[in-house]
Structure 1
Amino acid sequence: MDQNLQMYLIVLFLAVVVISQALMISTTGTRAKRSRLLKQQLEYIAESGNTNQKSLLRKQYLDQLSATERWLENNPLGEYLAEKLSLAGLEWKAYKVVFWLMVAGFGASLAVLVFTLNLQMALLSPLAILIGFSLWLRSQAEKRLNLFEEQFVEALDVMKRALLVGYPFTDVMKTVSEEMPPPVSTEFGKTFVELNYGVDLRVALTNLAHRNPSVNVLAFNSAVIIQKETGGNLAETLEKLSEVIRGRFRLMRKVRTLSAEGRMSAWILMLVPFVLFLILYISNPDYISPLLESERGSTVLTVTGISMFLGLLWIRKILRIEV
């Protein structure tokens, strides 16, 4: 395979990755910024709780492992990867994921080197495996969180009915974990276990929001904590909260529908130059070769790439609508 074509395919892959991540306007892009703000607020909420209780489930998980597994799992990389796997709803051990990623990267490098005899492509193969896995993990976390938010509204209704019957708050969490499907049942079940172990309510609710970084969960936490400190009708508050969340979902769907044409236009505008370049390169290589071989052609490609990147940022800013 020609070296210029190989470089073009690498650039095309990176462009598709950048475009796909930049144009997730209604989900990933907005939520990433919002999650950082949520974490700051959650740390403030949990200040009055016992900090030694925050990782109770993590400690319980580590205690079930062998000494070797605990050594491999209990480190900054293991904790970071375990958090990402938890957000994606995967019950995988972090050290095993790292091991299989290393095996997959080595296998991909060896296969590329055998079939293409290109050392550069072989060295880039593990990076492609890592990027692909990261994007897949991010996508799984996004799907899980979207499903959790959809079920969370129904969970609020279940909690309201349980409170009206007269259940205490701990039994209300247990009721949700038994009557609702996962992932919301799993998350409320973890919160119920923490409360049973004696974890402070603030810390337990903060852990729930850390595992599910959502504005809706933060509003629920605030309502429960305020009711605990000042009193009030929690069932009525949860009913109003569920109505607000349903209205927000309706608005988000409307925004997503109205912005669909803009997102599709962005995809077309950004991918057409790459597709046209590939067609010309395959059909008439001599016609496109001056663009790749001459100094002026390299300058044109550089300016074009910078202009396309700036255009992508501008389109992203236009389509970004906070709900």
Structure 2
Amino acid sequence: MQGQLPLLFAAVAAFIAVGGVGWVVAGALGDGQKSARRKAVVSSSGPRKARAQQADNTIQRRKQVQDSLKEIEDKQKSAKKKSLTLKSQIEQAGFSFSPRAFWIASGVLAIVGFLGALLTGQSLLISAGLSIAAGLGLPRWFLGMRRSGRQKKFTGEFANALDIIVRGIKSGLPLNECIKVIARESAEPVASEFKKLVEAQAVGVTLEDGIKKMVTRMPLPELNFFATVLTIQAKTGGNLAEALGNLSAVLRARKMMREKIGALSSEAKASSMIIGALPPGVLAIVYFTTPSYMTAMFVEPKGQLMLLGGGIWMGLGILMMRGMINFKH
């Protein structure tokens, strides 16, 4: 028994030694794994921070775009209110006379219509109606027709102007030089509008303010899109050539859609024109074939009232048919 005690102590000592060595080795391996994990966390924190920074930049840029769009929308609302004035309508039609000259011309036409109706033997009621139509309706109709025709020409040529800017920017030209090329080479009325923009920049007006004035002179959705793209690009940056190229494609698609709608609605337009022209056409035919049969309508007060009522109802019917076949909005 006494001889076995040293062996037992030796076995216990050996077990403790082996356990200590194992504990040291396990601790070293654990420290190595912890160090490796720490290194992995540190190494992965760099891309994570970069992604977080990129996300913050994207959110900040999106906020800037939203603020810019809200500011542009508010400015467009105020510009739309200004475009309803007579002075703005005269500028949009391409004329340079003042509103005072317009009212003077309207008064002259009203007097001529009133005197002409009296000289032909019409009553005071009919003469007053013709005077109002000649003084207020005819000048406004001419101004609106000239304004809409000019805007239609501008819309048809504006996509080509955007293509000039896109090709110029891709070839290395600055935006101001591209605008000068449009002012020299494009068709009217795009050339005259961009020429005014170039002249405004020459006297110190910024591009943004010049575009705003152009939108006031030509209140079109296409030009509003162009102003929006330039404003956002100036504040947030980006590829201007790509943005304007996409805008040009959208404008051409809108033009094709309008032409397709016009072709599909041509039958309805022709029918409305025939229906609107039929009553006055029949009246003219009857008057020239049998004048005595229709003279009472122009001489008798009841006949004059009937003609006035018929004209009013015809005008309302034409306006209703025009609204039914107008697919602009």
Q: TM-score, normalised by structure 2?
A: 0.62
What SS does structure 1 have at the residue aligned with 2:258?
Answer: helix
Contact 1:46 1:203 in 2 (8 A): no
Q: Which residue of 1 aligns with 2:86?
A: 81
Distance 1:107 1:319, change over 3 A: closer
Q: State the 1:97 CA deviation.
A: 2.9
User: Is 1:128 the equivalent of 2:158?
Assistant: no
Contact 1:205 1:221 in 2 (8 A): yes
Query: Structure 1: which 4+ aligned runs deviate by more than 6 Å?
Result: 284-287, 308-311
Equivalent of 2:212 in 206, 214, 219:
206
Deviation track 1:61-106 (CA, whole Å, cap 9, x = no partner) reads xxxxxxxxxxxxxxxxxx9333222111122233233223323322
Query: Partner amino acid for 1:145?
Result: Q
For residues 226 and 181 of structure 1, the distance between their equivalents in structure 2, rounded to whole angstroms, comes to 28
Q: Which residue of 1 aligns with 2:115?
A: 110
Q: Which residue of 1 aligns with 2:6?
A: none
User: Is 1:226 the equivalent of 2:195?
Assistant: no
For residues 113 and 277 of structure 2, the distance between their equivalents in structure 1, rounded to whole angstroms, comes to 27
Query: Partner amino acid for 1:115?
Result: T
Contact 1:46 1:202 in 2 (8 A): no
Contact 1:148 1:184 in 2 (8 A): yes
What SS does structure 2 have at the residue aligned with 1:116?
Answer: coil
Equivalent of 1:266 in 232, 255, 272:
272
Query: Partner amino acid for 2:233?
Result: Q
Q: TM-score, normalised by structure 1?
A: 0.63
Q: State the 1:46 CA deviation.
A: 6.6
Contact 1:101 1:129 in 2 (8 A): yes
For residues 318 and 99 of structure 1, the distance between their equivalents in structure 2, rounded to whole angstroms, comes to 35
Query: Partner amino acid for 1:111?
Result: G
Contact 2:72 2:228 in 1 (8 A): no
Distance 1:262 1:154, change over 3 A: same
Distance 1:152 1:116, change over 3 A: same
For residues 317 and 108 of structure 2, the distance between their equivalents in structure 1, rounded to whole angstroms, comes to 39
User: Is 1:242 the equivalent of 2:242?
Assistant: no
Distance 1:258 1:203, change over 3 A: same
Deviation track 1:253-306 (CA, whole Å, cap 9, x = no partner) reads 11101101011112233443454466567759879x99xx9x9xx99x989x87
User: Is 1:146 the equivalent of 2:152?
Assistant: yes
For residues 321 and 102 of structure 2, the distance between their equivalents in structure 1, rounded to whole angstroms, comes to 36
Greater CA drift, 263-272 or 223-232: 263-272
Percent identical among aligned pairs is 26
Distance 1:322 1:123, change over 3 A: closer
Deviation track 1:17-62 (CA, whole Å, cap 9, x = no partner) reads xxxxxxxxxxxxxxxxxxxxxxx98661479xxx9xx9xxxxxxxx
Q: Which structure has the bigger radius of gyration?
A: 2
Q: State the 1:207 CA deviation.
A: 1.7
Q: State the 1:158 CA deviation.
A: 1.4
